[in-house]
Chain A
């Protein structure tokens, strides 16, 4: 049997290439996750301890992370140790650079003047030496266009200070990171805003502040690391989930490969049995073949994964200066694990097809015309199981939707999907028929070829089905979540940018300039009068905006205040707002007054919104005191805010920028969506390798048929087109089915999870994205057909006919 095994390995190894690639890709996926995890971990370890490397003790909150150091006591403690202490922490303050307000509050941290306490790494310029000088984090500087030599005003009102940026630094320790760093005495000028996370001490610790503990620097770093590491680990688990999906698809692909190859070689096996090989010998030879494929594929996958992982670490470190990827040690358990998974997957996938091989009777070799029996019956057991799953699955999903139970949803979704996969050999050929019928007679041969072997067709499409179902579920889920959040944010931030002039009315000239600012889609003047509202320190404009619907994200609902009420933006007045919803306040304009009930909302700036009737009782000559702006889609919030601030500042007006919230939400969702799609993409790629593989093996099987068709007058181009059509049919059917199931799952998920979290969310189907998915699948199917079709078309009819 040894000679037979080696010879058949030599002959058939090339046919395993595609399946081996599928396994190798999945294994490489696992290994890359391992290398990245260990890289991230070692990067954290290096950076985290940097601020404390020369300390004897680190003082931090005893109950961290649930409690913090008392700011005043911690500052006093650090002061007391003077040169022998260095604090880490930050003050969060508004800042303006180059006459532009920075879009988010800026964090400011301390930087030591002595080299041994300094942990930031200089990347350009120099370190600050005195008060009035600062360095900026390179990443922050990049984002906010700050350069060495720029002036930055940090803080507001009496606490505002100007500093000059003298250098840019990298800051490797995430807990101590800030956007800008100034000397300790300078930082103390904002002591009311300063929160210290830890104080590094040289020599004796002395009296600790209340609620603090002292640790060795190593102990402190270890404590912080475990916290961050848990997040790294949970990220790894997420990634492994996707790797698991890729592995599952790889199992389908390789199982299909084995069953096709074994079916093609059935006569060989029968012949072996005829001349005296026992069942056990045949099976052992076949299993050994699978083992060789598994070992080679897993080895390749592991090596590729290691290379790719280290490459990615290098790439990430070059692209993002703040990244914390260290030089990872070779994560041996991951490598062994990845290799073992690849081997096991291959062996498991070959198990069933190999069992079928033993059932071949020796007589099969003697039958004169024992062409491979291409029609595999769909077992009754299989159908019964599919039926049970397809009945219980939806039932579980129904209960899940009613009860909002995630566990039931997952169980129901799993059983529906398993049911569909089992039912595939019946379902998929019918779908191929229906889709193929749309192609007319031109696609008839391709359609019939595609459904020749129902089980093969079903397995091939199943591999793609997995990826597509998850992809469309993610797309639909994200779109739904997105629209739900949009509505919510529309209510919280109805006005993109509100320009409010509390003292003087806004001029038509200003309105014109606002309207001509790039990124402004529409701007309306809002009429009102300056009023004194009891309970507020300063006079505010009381306005009415019947035209708010033209700019508001919530359709102007916030501005439709009932007569007798006044709408106050709780965010614009901050924590100091003493008014509560339902309070009755007196509002005075000149000598007229009105008694109004307070209603609270957010997102339109420091003005009181009243009904037109109410305003009419307060003033006869309303003047515009605010401009409400709707940004055009795609406008850069930071830039628009900065531009408008430049217009507003000279006339004493203020800006309320609601657009920022949109931007960060957009970015977050986009990152989630694209990461999920990218990771699922690997499963889809494996599935496409599977389609190419099935087609390639079928082409080998049908060589004589193709030769005959060519003899009868099928041109090379027609042959290639026929095979391409077959591949496209398979991929499009898998994609359409996957899309239907994916959107269905998304709907269930929406009913189960989203409607509970966001009560008035509406299901949103992203038709455009789904269309793109189907289109991509069709194109990918075409791509998958290229190689097999070319190979098939190369054979001359005479050569094909003389094949045995």
Chain B
């Protein structure tokens, strides 16, 4: 990390995978989810990982996000080799560098929308001060859910829930934002809104966004599209 070339590379690459493999099970039941992936993620862009179900796109995302340990190869995010981190270090790394938006079961049902947004800060043991609250309000404002902050997830529509989830993912200013099928449970109008928000966070806030989806329409919002097939990048 002392050489200028690496620093230069970091300016354009947010994360990279080298010879990444992942196998589940043993013997006859062995499944190769990833079969050697080499892959650089451009910084400040919206990248979509596409592919039919079973192509390994979710596994790739899990490995890139440090949610799962690969069977072989290395993953580097923001200059850190994820393989060198133990579970606690990895958890803290996620907390500080990575944001998530999931398909469903996204928000904690017993917390209000506002509480859900600041949850990652709270998990990091940070005090929820006025600055944090101001930032949460700003994000909610941008995402159009500012008037719903006091409501529980059950009282929000699907699109609103997903926008609250995006706000929560952005509150820590992560190096990487992962979205796993973010529009899977939404109708087309709401899907368009959510995808637009993701695109705007890349364009306007310079946020690196990675979205896993099997919907071609959703992928059209992305700057780059990576297509996967049978555990390989096609």
A binding-site residues for B, Cβ under 8 Å: 368-369, 371, 374, 441, 444-445, 448-449, 451-452, 704-705, 708-718, 796-799, 801-802
Contact = CB atoms under 8 A, between A and B. Distances in A.
B227 interface: no
Given A717-B88, A798-B62, A441 B122 contact: yes
Contact of A708 (B68, B87, B106): B106
Nearest to A712: B120
B128 A715 contact: no
Given A708-B106, A709-B123, A368 B88 contact: no
A664 to B, nearest CB: 57
Nearest to B128: A441
A714 B91 contact: yes
B108 interface: yes
Interface in B69-124: 69, 87-88, 91-92, 94-96, 100, 102, 104-106, 108-111, 119-120, 122-124
Contacts of A718: 123
A702 to B, nearest CB: 9
A718 B122 CA distance: 12
Interface in B152-181: 168, 180
Given A445-B108, A712-B100, 11 more contacts: A441-B122, A452-B109, A708-B102, A713-B95, A714-B95, A715-B88, A716-B87, A716-B91, A718-B123, A797-B67, A802-B58
Contacts, number: 74
B188 to A, nearest CB: 16
A452 B110 contact: yes
A134 to B, nearest CB: 75
A398 B133 CA distance: 53
A711 to B, nearest CB: 5
B65 interface: yes
B23 interface: no
Contacts of B58: 802
B19 interface: no
Given A369-B185, A441-B122, A710 B91 contact: yes
Nearest to A803: B105
B91 A704 contact: no
A433 to B, nearest CB: 12
B105 A715 contact: no
A799 B119 CA distance: 22
B120 A713 contact: yes
Contacts of B87: 715-716
Contacts of A705: 105, 108
A368 B158 CA distance: 12
A710 B68 CA distance: 12
A448 B120 contact: no
Contacts of B91: 710, 713-716
A711 B87 CA distance: 11
Nearest to A374: B109
Interface in B6-27: none
Contact of A713 (B96, B104, B110): B96
B65 A713 contact: no
Nearest to B158: A369
Contacts of A452: 109-110
Interface string B170-202: 000000000010000100000000000000000
